[in-house]
Amino acid sequence: MEYKEKAIEEVRRITSDAKNCRIVNVHPDFMNGTLYVVGFDTDEGKFHNYVYVHKNEIYLAKNEALLLSWISKKTRGLSLLEQIGGSAGIIGLIITLTIVFLVIFRPEAEVPKELWAALTAVLAFYFGSKVAK
């Protein structure tokens, strides 16, 4: 089944009295999926729903407020990862914690030069990517 058909089928499943279901607008590449605006008629008038489709995930929002709430929840985890610098930030954090552990709990042991070099490279990449933005 095509994504368009999945979107229309989801609207029909949620709104049993929906007639004349049609795709009004398509937003490709919306949060790694596709957002369909599905218009339909009922005895009470004309309406539209927002249907997000990504692989096997389907989410239907009956109005803009529900759509925005869902987007906010979905992007919260991504923004946390971006705040710490993505994978470079995580690697830098792990290397930094390892060095701190060695300095505090094993002061007699010398921190390997390779670890210092890795930390320097990751920090240079991290701050270089922040300056570019």
Mean pLDDT by runs of 10 across the 133 residues of the chain is: 88 93 93 92 94 90 91 71 67 80 81 82 76 59
First to last CA, the chain: 41
Per-residue pLDDT, 45: 94
User: In 10 A of CB 6, how many CB atoms?
Assistant: 15
From residue 112, alpha-carbon distances to 33, 97, 102, 118 in Å are 45, 14, 10, 10
Q: How far apart are CA 52 and CA 49, in angstroms?
A: 10
Query: For the residues of 17-48, what is the DSSP string, one character each?
Result: T-EEEEEEEEEEEETTEEEEEEEEEETTEEEE
Per-residue pLDDT, 14: 92
From residue 68, alpha-carbon distances to 24, 65, 118 in Å are 19, 5, 41
Per-residue pLDDT, 25: 95
Per-residue pLDDT, 79: 60
Per-residue pLDDT, 62: 93
| CA 9 to chain CA mean position, Å | 25
Q: How far apart are CA 90 and CA 80, in angstroms?
A: 11
Per-residue pLDDT, 13: 94
